[in-house]
Amino acid sequence: MAKNFKLLSGNEACVEGALYAGMKFYGGYPITPSTEIAEKSAEYLPQVGGKFIQMEDEIAGIAAAIGGSLAGLKSMTATSGPGFSLKQENLGYAAIAEIPLVVVNVQRGGPSTGLPTAPAQGEVMQAMWGTHGDHPVIAVSPMSVTETFTETVRAFNLAEKYRTPVIVLTDEVVGHMREKLEIPAPGELEVYDRLRPEADDKDYLAYRVEEGDLVPKMAAFGSGHRYHVTGLFHDETGFPSNCTDNAEFMLDRMMRKVSDNLDDILSYDEFMTEDAEHLIISYGSTARAAKAAVKTLRAEGIKVGLFRPITIWPYPAERTIELAKQVKTVTVAEMNLGQLKLEVERVVKGDAPVYLSGKANGEVLAPNDIMKKVKEVL
């Protein structure tokens, strides 16, 4: 079989990955630097029997995507900067109503309108804590065009498997750079579909789980199973409940969907960590500069390794702790003023000092920037 190669930007690869995973609905609003995701979704979805709708704003865009998912279609929305802020309330709604959804955030300089065409990684903490209340969160951060494709597929799989919104955190560099991508053949990558009740299941309850299960089956609206959807805490029927015991049970189950399945959810990459005496932690496009820095520092005789979390939330704490016990210093390289550094410090708990190589002025973090910090703290 002939291989299917394409020269694509990260944003275009995101759409290709979404279509591979079975996306059939996109609701959103154009905003730099994510607009190509909306444009390509509008072009390709009608060709596969899907639907695209441009809404009047970012809030309506995610609301439409939630509706598409409730109707049984794999759904996605994408945004950047202030648009991600506008989506937060409905992200919380999707979390408590347990609606599968993929939200792409192509990060740019902020806050507010900020630097619309400049790269940043300023929404790392917002991805975890942007919506209010305790809630389950999965967020992934690809570093290349190919990985944007595969992580978008994985984001859909995780959303469908655990009935939760999943955030894909790219940035302007990853979104707009072009690289060769080999599109996998159908069936080459796993594609997961949500569990649905039998059509004749007369006893179906939208939020009932069998003993030992954490994820309820999900019927599509219009399929013959009636149920209620609300942003309030609710019982098995979906109707609101003010019972505190029920709220405790429900929140515990929603959080455990993620925390009990870390082996399936967590993904990370390592480069030259086997004998590393100093560790760089980086992600997304900045990890490309960090990898180049490691190669140069190694050539200079400094034993440095790179740990790259691909799943940002939940953060891969266990492996970070193991590496921190091995090295003398940890340097977190990110295009912000230390957002993931705070999580690394919390996890490491003094096993190694943690330093920041950061920048938030719209310029990329270059290998020399990272090398300078590593040498400074040797």
Residues whose CB falls within 8 Å of the CB of residue 207, separated by 6 or more in sequence, listed in order? 98, 216, 234, 235, 236, 237, 238, 250
**Which positions of the chain have pLDDT values less than 70?**
1
What does each C-alpha distance from 301 to 208, 224, 332 come to in angstroms? Answer: 58, 67, 21
CB 1 within 8 A of CB 184: no
Cα 170 to Cα 194: distance, rounded to the nearest angstrom: 25
What local confidence, expressed as pLDDT, does residue 200 receive? Answer: 87
What local confidence, expressed as pLDDT, does residue 246 receive? Answer: 96
Residue written as tokens 């309108």?
A: 113
Cα 356 to Cα 332: distance, rounded to the nearest angstrom: 5
User: What angle, 0 to 180 degrees and rounded to 10, lies between the N-to-C axes of helices 286-299 and 367-376?
Assistant: 60
pLDDT per residue over 286-325, tens digit each? 999 999 999 999 999 999 999 999 999 999 999 999 999 9
Neighbours of 38 (CB within 10 A): 23
Cα Dmax for the chain: 69
Cα 33 to Cα 21: distance, rounded to the nearest angstrom: 23
Which class is domain 268-376?
Answer: alpha beta
What local confidence, expressed as pLDDT, does residue 1 receive? Answer: 64
CATH architecture of 1-265: 3-Layer(aba) Sandwich (3.40)
Residues whose CB falls within 8 Å of the CB of residue 330, separated by 6 or more in sequence, listed in order? 278, 279, 280, 281, 323, 324, 344, 348, 352, 353, 354, 355
What local confidence, expressed as pLDDT, does residue 212 receive? Answer: 84
What local confidence, expressed as pLDDT, does residue 40 receive? Answer: 98
Q: Residue ranges per domain, the chain?
A: 1-265, 268-376
| Whether the domain at 1-265 and the domain at 268-376 fall into the same CATH topology | yes
CB 157 within 8 A of CB 193: no
Give the burial string for 96-112 (b: 16+ CB within 10 Å, else e): bbbbbbbbbbbbbbbee
Instruction: Give the length of the chain.
Output: 378
CA 3 to chain centre: 28
